[in-house]
Structure 1
Amino acid sequence: SQTCCRGPFAHRFVQAPWRVALWAMAYVAVMLVALTGNALTAWVILAHRRMRTVTNYFLLNLAVADASMAALNTPVNFIYAARGEWYFGLGYCRFHNFYPVAALFASIYTMTAIAVDRYMAIIHPLKPRFSATVTKVVIVCVWGAAVVLAFPLCFYSNTRNVPHRTLCYVAWPRRADDAFMYHIIVAVLMYLLPLVVMAITYSKVGVTLWGSSVPGYSSENYLEQLQAKRKVVKMMVVVVVTFAVCWLPYHVYFIVTGLNRQLSKWKSIQQVYLAVVWLAMSSTMYNPIIYCCLNSRFRAGFKRAFRWCPFIHMSQSDEMELRITRFHPTRQSSMFTLTRLESMASEWKHKVVVSNKVASEWKHKVCVSNKVAS
C-alpha cells in the first residue's frame, strides 16, 4: 500500500526497455508456476481420498490463498510498479491494496494452525485433534480475521489524477504516520508473532520426534508412523522458513522507507521495490515444489497429473501411495498413541524383568557370602 505522493510511484522513473522485459519475464514466471503448482496441489488433495487429512485441508487453503494472490495481484503489481501509472479504476485499486494483505494473513495463520495441530498430535496425543468440521471453522475464522485486518486498506484506498497519469494510493487520515503505524502492525501480527509461535511449537515437536530415544521394543507400526510424522514436520518447517525469507525484505522495505521518507526520491528505489515485491510474490510458487520434493504422496499425485508426458513414469508404489489407506485420518493420531504406549509398556516390562534378574543375582551373591562367612 502506498501513501499519496510517497513511495516508488510518487516519482515516475523511466526504465530501459530491457529492464522492463526482464522484470516482465520474472513476474510472469512467478504467476505461471504459482498458478500451475497450486492448482495441482488442490487437485491432488481433492481428487484422492487418502489425501483428505486435517493437515492437507490447511494446505488446500494455503494453495487457494497463494494461487489467488499470484493471479490477481502479481501482474498488476508489476504493471503499476514498472509504469508508475494506474490503469484499472477505483474498484480494483481498493481490491489491489486490500487482497494481498488478506491473503498474506490467511497464508501465515494457516501455517500457524498446521503447527498447532502438529503440536497437539505429537506433544499431547491423548487430547482430541482437529476434526474436519473444526478445521473448516478455523479456516473460516482465519479468513474473517484477515478481512478485518486488511479492511482499512480497502476503506482508505483512492485514485488521484496527476499530470499525465493516475495514481492508486491509500489516503490515510494522517498520511505517512498512519501508513507507517499500519505497516508496523502488519509486520508484528502477520510476520513476527506467527513466526515466534511456529518456532516454539516446531522446536518442541522436534525435541519430541528427534530428541527422545526410540523404545527398543517398538513395533514396526510405531516406527513407520514416527518416520511419517518426522517427514511432515520437516516439510512444514521448510515451508515456513521459505515464507519467512521471502517476506522479510518486504517488511524491512516498508519500515525503512517509513523511517526515512527521502528514500522514495532515490532513483534506484523503483528497482529495489520491484525486487522486494518479486521476492514476496515468489513465495506463492515454492510450496508445491517443496511438497513434491519432500512428500511421497504429493509427488505421486503430481506424477499422476503429468503421466501423459513420455518422461514421467508412474510406478506401482506411486499408485499405492494414493490408493491404500492404512488409517482413517481422524484415527491416525490415536493409533500412533496406542503403538507408542504399547512400545513404552514393552520397554518398562523389559526393565522390570532385568531389574528382577539383577536383584536375584545380588540375593544369590549375598547368600553365598553368608555361607562362606559362616
Structure 2
Amino acid sequence: MTYSNDTALVIDTNLTHVLVEEYALPKWITYILIGLHLVIVGISLIGNGIILIYFLLVKRGKTNANYYLVALAMSDLLLVIWCEPFTVFNNLINYHWLFGKFMCYSVSFMQTASVIQRSCTLVASSVDRYIAIRWPLRKQASLLVVIAIITAIWFFSLILSVPVAIFTDIKLYNELDNSSGICIEDWPQNGLRQAYSSSLFIVTYCIPLLVLIITYGHIVLILDVKPPGEEYGNLMRRRRIVKRKTIKVFLLAFFAYALCWLPIHTITIVGDINPLIYDSKLVHVVWLFAQCLAVSTSAINPMIVLGSERMARTVGRRTSSERRSGNPFRKGSFNLLKSRMNKRRSTQETWQ
C-alpha cells in the first residue's frame, strides 16, 4: 500500500515524458489539492503538537487512554512530516520522483506502517476501555504494560510493512534517461499484490471495525444501566459522563478513520484486480482526492481530541464547584446510609 500514483503501473518503461503529461491535472484542481494538503499538514502539526505537550508535560494524570492518544498523535506527525511532503510533490507538482531510492523505499514503508499502527492502536484502546468499564474492580493494566503494548504494535506494523519496502522501486520512463522515473510498488506477480492488499484491508479495516463495534456496543449498554439510590446515582452519573467523554474520543477517531480510508481502500483493491482502471483520467482525479481524504485523518483526530478535552474541562469545573461545597462521594455515601437507617427505623416503629 502506497500513496504513490499507481497510474504508472500501466506505463511501459520505454515511453517518454510525453505520456506523463497526459495525467497532469488542470491547474485549478492542482491548486485545490495543494491547498487542502497544506491545511491538513498545518492543522496536524499544530494539533498533534499540542496533544503531545498537553499529555506529556502539562496534564498530571497519565492514564492508559492518554498514552494511546499520544501514540496516535505521534503516528499522525510521522505521516505528515516524513511522508506527506514527498508524496504531494511527486503527485501534484513534478510528477517525477527526485528524492532517490532510499526515500522511495522509506516513504512507502512508513506510510504503510503508520496506517497499520493507527488501526491496531484504536483496537487496543477500545479493548482497554472495555475491560476497565466491564470489570471496574479489576486492577487496570499498568503504564508499563500499556507502553509495552504500544511498542509491540509498532513492531508488528513495521514487520507487516516489510513487503512494501522490498517491492517498491523507481520505474524509469525511459531507459536512456536515468533522471526521470516514479516511485511505485513493483510486485513480481499481480496475484501477490492482490493478496497483500486484501490482507492489509482485512487487518487494518475489517477486523478493527468488527472489534470496535462489539466492544463499544457493549460499553454503551453497560453505561446505560442506572445504579440505585438518588445520591449514589448522581455520583455514578458524573463518572459515566467522564467515561463517555473518553469513549467518544476513540469512537469519533475510529469513525473518521473508517470513513476517510474507505475510498482509497476500495480504489486500491479494484485497481489490483483490474489495473487498467488507472488509464481513466477520472479515476486518476478521484484517487488523488481519496488520498487527500485519507491523510485528513491526521488533522481530524487532534481536533476531536482537543474538542473533547475542552468539554471535559467544563465537566471538571462543575465537579470542582460541587466538591467545594462538600465531598460528593462522602456526602452521597452518608445520605445513602442515613436514608437506609431511617427506613429501617420507620419499619421497626410500624411493627411496634
Sort the TM-score into its range (normalised by shorter chain).
0.7 to 0.9
**Residue number in structure 1 paired with 2:151:** 140
Indicate yes or no: 2:142 matched with 1:131.
Answer: yes
Shift of 1:218: 4.2
Q: Deviations over 1:115-150 (max 9, x none)?
A: 111101110112221211001100100000001110
Residue type at the aligned position of 1:285: A
Q: Deviations over 1:174-220 (max 9, x none)?
A: 1x2211111100000011101211111000111011x3123224435
**Residue number in structure 2 paired with 1:28:** 38
Structure 2: tracts of 5 or more residues without a match:
12-19, 324-328
Partners in 1 of 2:87 and 2:193 — Cα distance?
A: 19
**Residue number in structure 2 paired with 1:73:** 83
**Residue number in structure 2 paired with 1:97:** 108
Equivalent positions of 1:300-319 (< 5 A) are none
Partners in 1 of 2:158 and 2:246 — Cα distance?
A: 29
Shift of 1:297: 7.2
**Residue number in structure 2 paired with 1:169:** 184
| 1:151–1:299 Cα change, 3 Å | farther
| 1:179–1:97 Cα change, 3 Å | same
Shift of 1:261: 2.1
Partners in 1 of 2:231 and 2:258 — Cα distance?
A: 37
Shift of 1:34: 0.7
Residue type at the aligned position of 2:57: A
Pick one of 282, 285, 299 that aligns with 1:268: 282
Indicate yes or no: 2:263 matched with 1:249.
Answer: yes
Shift of 1:281: 0.3
Query: Helix, strand or coil for the counterpart of 1:182?
Result: helix
Partners in 2 of 1:299 and 1:25 — Cα distance?
A: 33
Partners in 1 of 2:116 and 2:222 — Cα distance?
A: 29
Shift of 1:293: 2.0
- The alignment's TM-score, normalised by the length of structure 1, stands at 0.77
Partners in 2 of 1:110 and 1:118 — Cα distance?
A: 12
Partners in 2 of 1:199 and 1:207 — Cα distance?
A: 12
**Residue number in structure 2 paired with 1:307:** none
**Residue number in structure 2 paired with 1:8:** 7
Partners in 2 of 1:185 and 1:299 — Cα distance?
A: 41
Query: Helix, strand or coil for the counterpart of 2:184?
Result: strand
**Residue number in structure 2 paired with 1:118:** 129
Pick one of 63, 72, 81 that aligns with 1:62: 72
**Residue number in structure 2 paired with 1:216:** 229
**Residue number in structure 2 paired with 1:335:** none
8 Å CA contact 2:2–2:112 kept in 1: the answer is: no
Query: Helix, strand or coil for the counterpart of 1:9?
Result: helix
Shift of 1:253: 0.9
Partners in 2 of 1:287 and 1:272 — Cα distance?
A: 23
Between the two proteins, what is the percent identity of the paired residues?
A: 23
8 Å CA contact 1:8–1:269 kept in 2: the answer is: no
Shift of 1:89: 0.8
* Larger Rg computed on CA atoms: 1
Shift of 1:2: 6.3
Partners in 1 of 2:157 and 2:221 — Cα distance?
A: 32
Pick one of 177, 193, 200 that aligns with 1:186: 200
Indicate yes or no: 2:305 matched with 1:291.
Answer: yes
Structure 1: tracts of 5 or more residues without a match:
301-315, 325-338, 365-374
8 Å CA contact 1:106–1:142 kept in 2: the answer is: yes
Shift of 1:69: 0.2
Residue type at the aligned position of 2:7: P
Q: Deviations over 1:35-78 (max 9, x none)?
A: 11101110100112424211101100110001110112122222
Partners in 1 of 2:193 and 2:265 — Cα distance?
A: 13
Indicate yes or no: 2:215 matched with 1:201.
Answer: yes
8 Å CA contact 2:127–2:215 kept in 1: the answer is: yes
Query: Helix, strand or coil for the counterpart of 1:158?
Result: strand
Partners in 2 of 1:2 and 1:193 — Cα distance?
A: 21
Query: Helix, strand or coil for the counterpart of 2:8?
Result: coil
Shift of 1:3: 12
Larger deviation: 270-279 or 221-230? 221-230
8 Å CA contact 2:109–2:161 kept in 1: the answer is: yes
8 Å CA contact 2:120–2:208 kept in 1: the answer is: yes
8 Å CA contact 1:242–1:283 kept in 2: the answer is: yes
Query: Helix, strand or coil for the counterpart of 2:161?
Result: helix
